[in-house]
């Protein structure tokens, strides 16, 4: 059993490496802060802090997979947040139509990026750099008269700060959150077993029973512990739920649908994809359109969390999202990268910031340390990749 565990670890060191790094980072900060880092309040906080970067990282993963980059998402997010604020505060628009309009604008901006990159053939770096400048200008124009726009709409602000309601009204524990956690674990176990049986049916290699059970126990207990912590505080935050849903949809889309296959095919070998009847233009449009939608979502999450639209909102979000995707193991050479791993990448970076804030590391050193971690993560990725092949 230990032999299998060892070869398993060796074979999948790349996949597991990031999780191991995450655990180590969490343990170190927990130790340095006397347990404060892993407290219910802080964990809950951590997820809310990373939300607007996490959704960007999901979209950015696909952009990088098809060998492009999107630099416009940072100020795009800031600009769209400001639009939301203006619509609600200066035009008295209700929350739902505001969100829908901002989503639609996000998609349109993304499609414009995609159009110039695919049909006209502009390098994505140039196109989205221009987009970044334009959005930055737009954001300044939008906030010129008023300066920071304070958002005083409680429903809207709930998105970035609120928690899901508990239908059971228990004093000590958020029962709904616990139930959701249990359901997720049950689903996870069900699908793992189904997948294993399928593999056995086709005589593929599978984990031995003890290792398989060990894996399920390990992951279930981590998920269980996480939900337990959140339940013992305020329960699941809306931000957490939104990130979870986005990740789930994108995970399914990339791994189970023809569209997902086509995206990875275009990234893996655009010429071969083209000759296979896949339209590069359509895929590029879709990926940038989706990036635009997620940019809008990110803008809403950020504006809602800080209950305002500021002239500097969105600064460097694009680089945080790109860093999260690279820490999560996407390859600039195209065709490689998982959405779920990018989320973990975002979590690693967010944990670093959160932990360093708790122990009082100055902002200047925070940047230096984050840069070093980014290099370390990608070096690890490259080294383990060449070993695997």
Partner 1 sequence: MVNATLFQVRVIFLSEYILEMKNITKEFPGVKALDNVNFKVKRGEIHCLIGENGSGKSTLMKVLSGFHKHGTYDGQIIFEGKEQKFNTIYDSEKVGIVTIYQELALIPELTVYENIFLGHEIKNKGIIDWNKTITEAEKVLKKLGYTLDTSKKVKDFGVGVQQIIEIAKALSKNVKLLILDEPTSALNETDSEKLLQIIKDLKNHGITSILISHKLNEVLEVADTITVLRDGLTITTIENNNISENVIIKHMVGREINDIYPKRDHEIGDKLFEVKNWKAFDKKNERYVVKSANFYVRRGEIVGIAGLIGAGRTELAHSIFGNPDDYKVSGELYFEGKKVQFKSPSDAIKSGIAYVSEDRKGNGLILDFDIKTNITIANLKKILKGIFVNENEEVIIAEDYRKSLKIKSHSIEQKVLNLSGGNQQKVSLAKWLFVTPKLLILDEPTRGIDVGAKHEIYSIMNELVAEGMSIIMISSELPEVLGMSDRIYVMAGGKIIGELSNKEATQEKIMAMAVEY
Binding site for partner 1 (CB under 8 A): 198, 202, 204-205, 256-259, 261-262, 264-265, 268-269, 271-279, 335-336, 389
Phi, psi of 71 (to 5 degrees): -90, -10
Minimum CB–partner distance for residue 298 and partner 1 (Å) = 26
Q: Are 22 and 351 in contact (CB under 8 A)?
A: yes
The residue (of 196 and 261) whose beta carbon lies closer to partner 1 is 261
Give 1: exposed, middle or buried? Use CB within 10 Å, 0-12, 13-18, 19+: exposed
Beta carbons within 8 Å of 9's beta carbon, 6+ residues apart: 16
The residue (of 274 and 370) whose beta carbon lies closer to partner 1 is 274
**CA nearest 320: which of 341, 292, 295, 349?**
349
The residue (of 41 and 383) whose beta carbon lies closer to partner 1 is 383
The residue (of 197 and 221) whose beta carbon lies closer to partner 1 is 197
Q: How far apart are CA 240 and CA 180, in angstroms?
A: 12
Minimum CB–partner distance for residue 248 and partner 1 (Å) = 14
**CA nearest 54: which of 350, 352, 346?**
346
Minimum CB–partner distance for residue 331 and partner 1 (Å) = 9
Minimum CB–partner distance for residue 277 and partner 1 (Å) = 3
Give 163: exposed, middle or buried? Use CB within 10 Å, 0-12, 13-18, 19+: buried
DSSP for 298-320, please give it. HHHHHHHHHTEE-TTTTTTHHHH
CA–CA distances in Å: residue 263 to residues 89, 282, 346, 385? 39, 10, 22, 21
Positive or negative: CA dihedral 52, 351, 369, 309:
positive
Minimum CB–partner distance for residue 307 and partner 1 (Å) = 38
Minimum CB–partner distance for residue 271 and partner 1 (Å) = 3
Minimum CB–partner distance for residue 386 and partner 1 (Å) = 13
The residue (of 251 and 370) whose beta carbon lies closer to partner 1 is 251
Is residue 94 classed as helix, strand or coil in its secondary structure?
A: coil
The residue (of 264 and 317) whose beta carbon lies closer to partner 1 is 264
The residue (of 126 and 259) whose beta carbon lies closer to partner 1 is 259
CA atoms in the 13 A half-sphere facing the CB of 223: 20
């Amino acid at each position: 059993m230990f032999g299998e565990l060892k070869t398993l670890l060796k074979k999948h060191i790349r996949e597991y490496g990031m999780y191991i790094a995450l655990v180590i980072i969490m343990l170190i900060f927990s130790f340095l802060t006397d347990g404060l880092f892993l407290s219910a309040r802080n964990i809950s906080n951590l997820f809310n802090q990373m939300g607007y970067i996490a959704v960007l990282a999901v979209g950015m993963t696909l952009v990088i997979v098809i060998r492009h980059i999107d630099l416009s998402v940072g100020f795009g997010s800031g600009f769209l947040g400001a639009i939301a604020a203006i619509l609600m505060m200066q035009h008295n628009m209700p929350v739902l139509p505001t969100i829908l309009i901002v989503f639609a604008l996000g998609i349109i901006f993304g499609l414009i990026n995609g159009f110039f990159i695919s049909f006209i053939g502009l390098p994505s770096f140039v196109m989205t750099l221009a987009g970044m400048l334009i959005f930055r200008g737009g954001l300044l124009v939008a906030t010129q008269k008023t300066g920071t726009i304070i958002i005083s709409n409680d429903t809207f602000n709930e998105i970035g700060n609120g928690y899901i309601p508990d239908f059971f009204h228990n004093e000590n524990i958020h029962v709904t959150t616990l139930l959701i956690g249990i359901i997720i674990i049950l689903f996870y176990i069900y699908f793992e077993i189904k997948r294993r049986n399928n593999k056995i049916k086709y005589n593929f290699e599978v984990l031995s029973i003890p290792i398989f059970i060990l894996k399920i126990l390990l992951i279930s207990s981590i998920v269980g512990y996480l939900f337990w912590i959140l339940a013992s505080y305020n329960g699941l935050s809306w931000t957490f739920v939104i990130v979870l849903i986005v990740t789930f949809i994108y995970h399914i889309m990339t791994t189970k649908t023809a569209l997902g296959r086509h995206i990875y095919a275009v990234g893996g070998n655009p010429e071969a994809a083209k000759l296979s009847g896949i339209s590069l233009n359509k895929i590029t449009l879709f990926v940038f359109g989706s990036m635009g939608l997620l940019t809008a979502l990110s803008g809403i999450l950020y504006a809602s969390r800080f209950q305002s639209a500021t002239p500097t909102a969105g600064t460097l979000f694009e680089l945080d999202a790109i860093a999260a995707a690279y820490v999560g193991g996407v390859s600039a050479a195209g065709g490689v990268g998982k959405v779920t791993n990018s989320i973990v990448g975002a979590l690693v970076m967010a944990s670093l910031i959160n932990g360093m804030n708790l122990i009082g590391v100055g902002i200047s050193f925070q940047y230096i340390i984050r840069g070093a971690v980014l290099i370390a993560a990608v070096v690890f990725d490259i080294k383990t990749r060449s070993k695997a092949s």
